[in-house]
Amino acid sequence: MVLRHDSRVSVMQFGAQLEAVALRVLRPSSSSTSAPPRQLLHHVELVRRLPFYGYHERFRSFFRVSVIDPAMVGRLVRLLGHTTEVGGRRWQTYESHAPYHFQFMVDYGMKGMAPFFIPTCTARSPIPKELQHVQAQARLKITAVTSKGEPMRLTRAELEIDVRASALRWRESSIETGENLLSVRRSVPAILCRVRR
């Protein structure tokens, strides 16, 4: 996230200028045979957050920048913080030190091995016998089952599913109601709690 210093700068202006400068400055080295990317940013949005570090009484406006390639985050942070290429100033970034996967988990309210809301998913074949009935699949929000081997399973888990990123939802509050270890245990369906021996 980038602190918004001037309320006259719109999300579109900031995003367009950041991408134009990044494409010009961060292009691959001349020894690279790969073609330069045509798009670096997925989207930029304006959010209001309480800055995490230091004492702050009120929320501030930030540009939340989502990149297509997480490997570009460090280079974009250096571009924003150490040069005046974007908007003629140096920009203060927040949360850019957090690894991509950790930030993804925070944004979507995922907590390690704790359950989280999945509206729909696709199961990879083969699936356990007790999940071969439509009713059992509906209970777990399984809308489709892939053909065996397409795509290949990545684990030896009893059930492996694919979830579209667009199906996930953002956290709506910093603390979910009733969120503690006991409530998590109670909310897990019995079929997922059963341990195979």
Instruction: Give the pLDDT of the chain (197 residues) as one tens digit per residue.
Output: 787 777 788 888 888 888 888 888 876 554 555 665 678 888 888 888 887 777 878 888 888 888 888 888 888 999 888 888 888 888 888 888 888 878 777 777 777 766 667 788 888 988 888 888 888 888 888 888 888 878 888 888 888 888 887 777 655 554 444 444 444 444 444 444 343 33
Do residues 13 and 34 touch, judged by C-beta distance below 8 A? Answer: no
Do residues 56 and 50 touch, judged by C-beta distance below 8 A? Answer: yes
- What gap in Å lies between CA 43 and CA 67, rounded to an integer? 7
Beta-ladder partners of 2? 63, 93
Look at the pTM and tell me if it is higher than 0.75: no
- What gap in Å lies between CA 35 and CA 42, rounded to an integer? 19
- What gap in Å lies between CA 164 and CA 166, rounded to an integer? 5
| SS3 category, 20 | helix
Q: Which amino acid is at 133?
A: H
- Backbone torsions φ then ψ of 76, nearest 5 degrees: -65, -40
Q: What is the pLDDT of residue 192?
A: 42
Residue with tokens 């690894």: 99
